[in-house]
Amino acid sequence: MRDFDENSITDAVLQRLAGAEDPRLRQVAQSLVKHLHAFVRDVEPSFEEWQTAISFLTRIGHMCDGKRQEFILLSDTLGVSMLVDAINHRMPEGATPTTVLGPFYVEGAPELPLGAEVAHAMKGEPLHASGRVMTAGGGPIAGAIVDIWHSDEDGFYDVQRVDQADANLRARFRTDSEGRFHFWTLTPTSYPVPDDGPVGELLRATGRHPMRPAHVHFMIAAPGHETLVTHVFVAGDPYLDSDAVFGVKQELIAEFAQNQPGQGPDGREMAGTWRKLNYDFALKRNG
């Protein structure tokens, strides 16, 4: 076949893909072509605009390396990561909702004993975090691995700091026989997603800010359960309704209650104000 025109080109490409042996690949490739062609028909780009789009994606690729993943950031800021997350986590009643993993998770954070301090001597308001890990609709889970990570007072994760070789503001804990965990760290603050690349340009050009409301990331794993990837957000944060990556869910917002100086948990004498978070997680059973 030849002489394709504006109307016949889509069917021609779909037919060409019909021979793909893998049925899932055929479905995905054909759907991509249908939606891409529909997009081009809708937008009717000029050659210059199409070139700008190609150059935008090329610059996104060039920005990616072992530490920076600009394509994931594009997916996050266009709401695609949360859509994929929602489709893959249709949770039963009572299970803790999931949200995006984000680019700052690092495998193999140090395992610390319950009650340990996660922050290495940094400025910020101390936070005592505690809670329980349960089965949704069931009892406590002993021995669940609770992996936590969050940004510092300036809004940076340890991996973004060139001066920081060791893991900081990240750790793993194992729940006790009643499913409980507790640890000390610093109160997180809201921070911008990395906006010094093409995704940042797109945010600015579309009148959007790059901020995420303050949160602590949790990844909780236990045998017989789906691993839960989520955050707990600080109630009252000004960015809860405009998170740059659309990750906020009402159930994941908690009070990080401020306490006055004096006696704190674990017999700690607190010289300044400190905060307390208590949050229980419910994991979905496998299968």
> Which residues of this protein are in contact with ligand BEZ, per CB under 6 A?
73, 76, 100, 102-104, 193, 212, 245
Q: Which amino acid is at 279?
A: Y
The 8 Å CB, 24+ separation contacts for 138-142 are 138/285, 139/179, 140/175, 140/178, 140/179, 140/180, 141/175, 141/179, 141/222, 141/225, 141/283, 142/175, 142/176, 142/177, 142/178, 142/179
Q: How far is the CB of 72 from Fe ion (least distance, A)?
A: 13
The closest residue (CB) to Fe ion is 102
Q: How far is the CB of 145 from ligand BEZ (least distance, A)?
A: 19
- Using DSSP, state whether 72 is helix, strand or coil: helix
**Residue 76 binds which of ligand BEZ, Fe ion, none (CB < 5-8 A, kind-dependent):** ligand BEZ
Q: How far is the CB of 4 from Fe ion (least distance, A)?
A: 47
Using CB under 5 A, which of the segments 9-17, 98-106, 114-122, 243-251 binds Fe ion? Answer: 98-106
DSSP label at residue 158? G
**Residue 97 binds which of Fe ion, ligand BEZ, none (CB < 5-8 A, kind-dependent):** none
Altogether, the residues listed in the chain come to a count of: 287
Residue (of 138, 142, 217) closest to 174 by Cα position: 142
Question: Distance between CA 212 and CA 190 in Å, rounded?
Answer: 6
Question: What mask, x for binding Fe ion by CB under 5 A, covers residues 23 to 62?
Answer: ----------------------------------------
Q: How far is the CB of 37 from Fe ion (least distance, A)?
A: 37
Q: Which is nearer to ligand BEZ, 76 or 158 (CB)?
A: 76
CB 170 within 8 A of CB 186: no
DSSP label at residue 131? E
Q: Which is nearer to ligand BEZ, 141 or 228 (CB)?
A: 228
Q: How far is the CB of 150 from Fe ion (least distance, A)?
A: 7
**Residue 186 binds which of Fe ion, ligand BEZ, none (CB < 5-8 A, kind-dependent):** none
Tell me phi and psi for residue 200, to 5 degrees: -60, -40
Q: Which is nearer to ligand BEZ, 77 or 135 (CB)?
A: 77
Q: Which is nearer to ligand BEZ, 132 or 212 (CB)?
A: 212
Q: How far is the CB of 156 from ligand BEZ (least distance, A)?
A: 11
Q: Which is nearer to ligand BEZ, 73 or 252 (CB)?
A: 73
CB 270 within 8 A of CB 285: no
Q: Which amino acid is at 64?
A: C
Which conformational region is residue 179 in: left (phi greater than 0), alpha (psi within -120 to 50 degrees), or beta?
A: left
Which conformational region is residue 259 in: left (phi greater than 0), alpha (psi within -120 to 50 degrees), or beta?
A: beta
Rounded alpha-carbon distances, angstroms, from residue 14 to 3, 55, 177: 16, 26, 57
The closest residue (CB) to ligand BEZ is 102
Q: Which is nearer to ligand BEZ, 88 or 260 (CB)?
A: 88
Q: How far is the CB of 271 from ligand BEZ (least distance, A)?
A: 30
Restricting to residues 127-186, name those near Fe ion by CB under 5 A. none
Q: Which is nearer to ligand BEZ, 78 or 91 (CB)?
A: 78
List residues binding Fe ion (CB under 5 A): 102
